[in-house]
Amino acid sequence: MRRHRRDPRESTPPDDVFKEMVQAARELLAVRTPLDAELMVSDMIGAWWGRRVRGGDVEQVLGEGLVDYAAKAGTPASLTLLICLAYLGTARQGAKAEGAALAMMESGVARPGWADRVGAVKPAGCYVSRDAYGDQDTVICTFAYRWNDSEQPIDRHALVMVVDHNMSGMARDAWVSSQVDKLLEQARAEAAGNPLLLFEEIQPEQARALLESAMKATREPKTPPPVSDSYSAYHAFARARLKALPPGRKRPAPLHIEAPYSRERRAMLAAEFLASDAAEHLSDPSAASRCADHIIDYGCEQDFNRPLRVSPTKCETFLLDWLPRKVMLSVAEQEAMPHVLSAWVRFAAHRTGLPEQGLKATLDAVWEAIGKFPEAYRDPTSFGLDRPLLERLLPDGDLSALARRAFAFPYLQGTHNGIELDKLDPADQADRRTLLEIDHGGAIDQEHLAWHEEIATRLWDGDPPQLWEAAQRLLDLGHDRHDVLHVLIEIAERIGGDPEELAAALDDIADIPDEF
């Protein structure tokens, strides 16, 4: 049974959190198996998974802080907690917890009889339940504690993780079951009765590669990822269990991954599509060609080089989420895109052998999304910007870059001291410097101008993403644009070239200090 966990942000001093956790660890002395203890501690430390704290990485500030606090407590409960953290924690937490636990055991602190078996598991078999669309993999990894004298597995259990390939291959859900045989029997039965499901055994190396990739993808977003309520509780347990599986030579990210598509290969695939029977009804070949390029680019860059994979969810996400955020379409392309996408679904389904039931469901989803597309896709010219200006700001067509590039270069129209701003290209380095000089009225020393150029270039490229996120937070607080730029410059100048330190410093900005 999962217990209520205090959100670490609810306590001001971390010691209050640590004290409560060490007190809760007394329950570990009453559990009967190492599996119960591991799940309890994984749930406990899952309280801070994915959180942001001031002063450093949450795993260092809270995770390592808990280890230090438990080591000082010196009780049987804190020793048991340290034994579990040595297995479940990060590498740094594990090393510190192991050292502290050994010291406490040498001093005679008692521990439960099962403590020596924490983490002592063997993998027993790995399986995957996969839908025919390639949307989702449910991976089941079974384990047991090391055999007893009768050669029988002890405390068999299964780690189950759901990997969503429509969300960059991230792990979306995780749980643990002790009903291993029942779980596998149910998965086989579901696949036997559904032509759109496949259940099979996979190599442990494959399972580890896929799940480690999925867990990495889940923790990469800076905003809270869309995971289940239970994911954080099982995160540490899953991370530790995967280390019991043999490592593979390569990390495939999904199980059926294709080689990268070169520009030539993408162009050839688009040409094959436009020449196919599926595309013969498209009335505007030029717009259809550009739309096909966007569909292929999405499949290559957002779906592990699988442009031919189609599903209801993937098509809806492409049409109603990715396109409106990322791509500047012409009026002709806006009109053509839904029709090109439905033609692409027929073309791709024929090429990949998608069952007829899956093809019909995908086409139904596309046509349902078509009614929502005009509302989801707002032509950027409706923002009050003319198309020539948009083309200068978005030569790559990346619609998501519009706001940050307009912030970096606000003066792109009109005349200044005889210079026609409409003829200056913010993507050109020389024109970029001229625009920044005009932004400052010409009164700026060259070193400071170079820093403005550095920040403008980073904003243009979105590198790192935290730069524009920090700027938006400060702008939302009502700060002047130039003050915001100077804060960004100060941080970039102070941090230097370390990208991780720069991203962390930008993440920590909550307001402009008084000295600015």
**Structure confidence at residue 148 (pLDDT):** 62
**Structure confidence at residue 98 (pLDDT):** 97
Helix, strand, coil tally for the chain in percent (to 5): 60, 10, 30
Let me know the angle formed at the C-alpha of 114 by 109 and 115, rounded to the nearest 5 degrees. Answer: 45
> In tens digits, what is the pLDDT along the chain, a chain of 516 residues?
344 455 444 444 578 889 999 999 999 999 999 999 999 999 999 999 988 776 678 888 899 999 999 999 999 999 999 999 999 999 999 999 999 999 999 999 999 999 999 999 999 999 999 999 999 999 999 999 976 665 677 899 999 999 999 998 999 999 999 999 999 999 999 999 999 999 999 999 999 999 999 999 998 655 668 899 999 999 999 999 999 999 975 544 445 567 889 999 999 999 999 999 999 999 999 999 999 999 999 999 999 999 999 999 999 999 999 999 999 999 999 999 999 999 999 999 999 999 999 999 999 999 999 999 999 998 888 777 788 999 999 999 999 999 999 999 999 999 988 899 999 999 999 999 999 999 987 667 889 999 999 999 999 999 999 999 999 999 999 999 999 999 999 999 999 888 888 988 888 887 777 665
Q: How many Cβ atoms are within 10 Å of 93's Cβ, its own excluded?
A: 23
**Structure confidence at residue 225 (pLDDT):** 81
Q: How far is CA 180 from CA 126, 155, 203, 351, in A?
A: 11, 10, 18, 37
Closest to 334 in 3D by CA, of 287, 393, 289, 385: 287
Q: Which residues pair with 139 in a beta bridge?
A: 128, 161
**Structure confidence at residue 486 (pLDDT):** 94
Show Cβ contacts of residue 161 under 8 Å, excluding neighbours closer than 6 positions. Answer: 138, 139, 141, 171, 173, 174, 211, 214, 238
- pTM higher than 0.85 for the full model? no
Taking each helix axis from N to C end, the angle separating 499-507 and 481-495, rounded to the nearest 10 degrees, works out to: 140
In whole angstroms, give the CA distance from residue 161 to residue 144: 17
**Structure confidence at residue 151 (pLDDT):** 63
Yes or no: say if 329 and 319 are a contact pair by the CB < 8 Å rule. no
Spacing of C-alpha 455 from chain mean position: 25
In whole angstroms, give the CA distance from residue 406 to residue 472: 13
